[in-house]
């Protein structure tokens, strides 16, 4: 596993870096008085990890390219895989991208260029920038080139569930014998200006919005002015972030053959949707999340084997409600003993990386025998049906199975079942 995420003064790159933040329930969100998770990746940090990338291409990289390449390089170093020597030449390169913020400038520069007056050299630069950065396939394109892979290479765009779906695709490809190894990356960059404009528009139309809002419409709570607090009774906003997380998934035989360190197993992944006509709505009953979990478990595993759930809460009380309802329906009278935490308060709500990051964090917790606290949760909401592990200390627990949840606006639910090595 490898990362390129917001840190305290410098980016978070390694499993050890991530653990140091999450185990303390620390937050890396405050940047000059604005609650946003900025990576602050310097040119020197990029060049140190990827010194061989030709400037003809790299000078046209967006932050999404740079974050995704760095997290891939870190994951390869962690897995002791040398992509320069062709050790990923048969790998699947799978990327999750939730937004298009990183592509806006490249898109507009090409759209506004006049072919009749643009000099040939500038036209070539615009062409390279356009080919690399005007579609959500941007990161997969450059990762495929870096690894020189001739395996499957594609992008899934499913909002904040994007890399979670790609984890599922990797597991199924390996199970079906299509590939032995898959590199899964989630990467997004949220435009602060775009979100601020959305907030301003919403405030200006608040009366109209309130009048037309149906009961199943979500509450829109983006904010840069206050701290996000998942599962806390004071939760009233979401802080965004940026960055990338990469997880390398292998067949057991492939990993054992090369003597790889195994963090754990991806056992199953399932995706469902609430089935509502409103594209902005979500069903607070949690029924489809229950369905996704049931599909993951199948006839082989039982919920009594799963004492920990990595939640997908971003501080939105609507998400907390359907998660709480789902846990209650899944575990019944045992729900209050279930540990369910979220670390979005550590790095911010960063969109597509959330799936890979949730898998990585959960497997790290499983390996350590400790559950990380829910960052910024100090006073748990009264209606929770589970234990959110409030505070800033880990909780000791020995477990071999866990679930990880992710969601997309519009009622999409993803559940991943994980196991120890």
Give the pLDDT confidence of 22-68 residue by residue, as tens digits: 999 999 998 777 889 999 999 999 999 999 999 989 998 999 999 99
Q: Does 378 have pLDDT greater than 80?
A: yes
User: What's residue 222's pLDDT?
Assistant: 61
Instruction: Extract the tokens encoding 4.
Output: 């390129």
Question: Confidence class of residue 210 from pLDDT cuts 50, 70 and 90?
Answer: low
Could you give the CA distance from residue 144 to residue 151 in angstroms, rounded to a whole number? 9
* Radius of gyration of the CA atoms of the chain, in A: 21
For the stretch 119-160, pLDDT in tens is: 998 888 888 888 888 788 899 999 999 999 999 999 999 999
Task: Determine the distance from the C-alpha atom of residue 245 to the mean position of all C-alpha atoms in its chain, rounded to a whole number.
Answer: 7
Burial class of residue 312 in the structure, from the number of CB atoms within 10 Å of its CB (0-12 exposed, 13-18 middle, 19+ buried):
buried
Helix (H, G, I), strand (E, B) or coil at 30: strand
Element (H, E) at 404: strand 401-408
Contact 400, 304 (CB under 8 A): no
Helix (H, G, I), strand (E, B) or coil at 407: strand
Contact 198, 101 (CB under 8 A): no
In a domain, 128, yes or no: no
Tell me the average pLDDT across 272-301: 94
Query: What's the whole-number average pLDDT of the chain?
Result: 92
Strand order across the 153-156 sheet:
2-4, 242-250, 181-189, 92-96, 153-156
Whichever domain contains 274, its CATH number is: 3.40.47.10
Looking at the DSSP bridge assignments, the partners of residue 266 are 418
Question: Confidence class of residue 221 from pLDDT cuts 50, 70 and 90?
Answer: low
Instruction: Extract the tokens encoding 411.
Output: 């009622």
User: What's residue 218's pLDDT?
Assistant: 47
In a domain, 275, yes or no: yes
Question: Confidence class of residue 415 from pLDDT cuts 50, 70 and 90?
Answer: very high
User: What's residue 135's pLDDT?
Assistant: 80
Could you give the CA distance from residue 312 to residue 271 in angstroms, rounded to a whole number? 14
| 134 or 302, higher pLDDT | 302
- pLDDT above 90 as % of the chain: 76
Report how many domains make up the chain: 1
pTM of the complete model: 0.93
Which residue range forms the structural domain that includes residue 256?
A: 2-100+136-419
In a domain, 124, yes or no: no
In a domain, 111, yes or no: no
Helix (H, G, I), strand (E, B) or coil at 189: strand
Tell me the average pLDDT across 214-224: 56
In a domain, 205, yes or no: yes
Beta strands in 60-142 (DSSP E): 92-96
Could you give the CA distance from residue 298 to residue 309 in angstroms, rounded to a whole number? 17
In a domain, 53, yes or no: yes
Question: Confidence class of residue 280 from pLDDT cuts 50, 70 and 90?
Answer: confident
Bridge-based pairing of strands 153-156 and 92-96 is parallel
Q: Does 179 have pLDDT greater than 60?
A: yes
User: What's residue 132's pLDDT?
Assistant: 83
| 378 or 199, higher pLDDT | 378
Question: Confidence class of residue 188 from pLDDT cuts 50, 70 and 90?
Answer: very high
CA atoms within 13 A on the CB side of 183: 38
Comparing C-alpha atoms, which of 349, 215, 342 is closest to residue 282? Answer: 215
Q: Does 97 have pLDDT greater than 60?
A: yes
Task: Determine the distance from the C-alpha atom of residue 81 to the mean position of all C-alpha atoms in its chain, rounded to a whole number.
Answer: 23
User: What's residue 160's pLDDT?
Assistant: 94
In a domain, 334, yes or no: yes
| 175 or 102, higher pLDDT | 175
For the stretch 13-31, pLDDT in tens is: 999 999 999 999 999 998 7
User: What's residue 213's pLDDT?
Assistant: 53
In a domain, 360, yes or no: yes
User: What's residue 136's pLDDT?
Assistant: 82
Beta strands in 137-212 (DSSP E): 153-156, 181-189
User: What's residue 226's pLDDT?
Assistant: 86
Residue 137: DSSP 8-state: T
Comparing C-alpha atoms, which of 46, 75, 76 is closest to residue 62? Answer: 46
């Amino acid at each position: 596993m490898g990362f390129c995420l917001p840190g305290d003064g410098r980016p978070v790159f390694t499993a050890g870096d991530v653990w140091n933040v999450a185990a303390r329930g620390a937050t890396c969100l405050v940047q000059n008085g604005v609650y946003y998770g900025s990576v602050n990746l310097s040119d020197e940090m990029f060049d140190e990890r990827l010194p061989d990338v030709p400037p003809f291409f790299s000078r046209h990289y967006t932050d999404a390219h740079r974050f995704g390449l760095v997290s891939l390089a870190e994951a390869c170093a962690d897995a002791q895989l040398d992509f320069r020597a062709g050790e990923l030449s048969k790998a699947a390169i799978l990327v999750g991208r939730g937004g298009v913020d990183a592509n806006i400038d490249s898109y507009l520069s090409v759209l506004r260029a006049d072919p009749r007056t643009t000099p040939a050299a500038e036209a070539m630069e615009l062409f390279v920038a356009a080919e690399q950065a005007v579609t959500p396939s941007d990161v997969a394109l450059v990762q495929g080139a870096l690894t020189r892979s001739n395996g499957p290479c594609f992008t899934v765009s499913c909002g904040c569930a994007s890399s979670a779906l790609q984890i599922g695709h990797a597991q199924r490809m390996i199970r079906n014998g299509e590939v032995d190894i898959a590199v899964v990356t989630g990467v997004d960059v949220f435009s602060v200006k775009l979100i601020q404009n959305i907030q301003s528009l919403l405030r200006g139309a608040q009366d109209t919005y309130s009048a037309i809002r149906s009961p199943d419409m979500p509450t829109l709570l983006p904010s840069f002015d206050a701290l996000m607090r998942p599962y806390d009774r004071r939760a009233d906003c979401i802080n965004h972030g940026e960055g990338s997380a990469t997880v390398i998934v292998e067949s057991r035989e492939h990993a054992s053959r090369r003597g790889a360190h195994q963090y754990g197993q991806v056992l199953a992944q399932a995706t469902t949707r609430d089935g509502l006509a409103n594209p902005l709505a979500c069903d607070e009953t949690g029924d489809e999340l229950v369905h996704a979990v049931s599909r993951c478990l199948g006839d082989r595993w039982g919920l009594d084997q799963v004492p920990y759930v990595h939640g997908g809460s971003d501080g939105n009380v609507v998400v907390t409600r359907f998660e709480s309802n789902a846990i209650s329906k899944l575990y019944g009278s045992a729900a209050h003993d279930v540990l369910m935490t979220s670390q979005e308060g550590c790095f911010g709500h960063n969109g597509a990386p959330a799936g890979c990051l949730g898998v990585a964090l959960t497997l790290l917790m499983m390996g350590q025998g400790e559950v990380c606290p829910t960052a910024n949760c100090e006073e748990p909401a009264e209606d929770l049906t589970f234990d959110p592990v409030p505070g800033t200390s880990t909780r000791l627990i020995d477990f071999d199975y866990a679930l990880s949840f992710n969601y997309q606006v519009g009622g999409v639910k993803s559940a991943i079942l994980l196991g120890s090595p």
